[in-house]
Amino acid sequence: MIIQAEISLYPLGNEDELFVKVERFIELTKQSDISVDVGNMSTTIIGKSNDIFAVLHHAFEQVASHTAAVMVVKVCNICPLPSRDIESND
């Protein structure tokens, strides 16, 4: 199943390193076969549900192992897909 997730990551701690931690999280999501669209306040990812949840798990574990963090995720299976075609087969 193809899903869309909107993610916001809030690392806690030293303000000087917050941007670096968010960038690290985004780079980890980009190392997969999912569509990643970085916004000002959140990142939207689109792909197969198994891939999305695996990427979120891995990226959060990597960041959270070095700092306290809060991750907010909204997941949708009926959101309109971007204009480019994404195969919806399992």
Confidence (pTM): 0.81
The number of folded domains in the chain is 1
- The predicted-structure confidence for 22-65, as pLDDT tens digits, reads as follows 999 999 999 888 999 999 999 999 999 999 999 999 999 999 99
Supply the CATH number for residue 59's domain.
3.30.70.930
Kindly state whether residue 31 falls inside one of the protein's structural domains: yes
Kindly state whether residue 89 falls inside one of the protein's structural domains: no
The β-bridge partners of 10 are 70
- The predicted-structure confidence for 63-74, as pLDDT tens digits, reads as follows 999 889 999 999
Q: Is 60 exposed, middle or buried (0-12, 13-18, 19+ CB in 10 A)?
A: middle
- Whether 46 and 4 have beta carbons less than 8 Å apart is answered as yes
Kindly state whether residue 42 falls inside one of the protein's structural domains: yes
Q: What range defines the domain where residue 46 resides?
A: 2-76
Kindly state whether residue 48 falls inside one of the protein's structural domains: yes
Read off the DSSP letter of residue 45: E
- Whether 72 and 11 have beta carbons less than 8 Å apart is answered as no
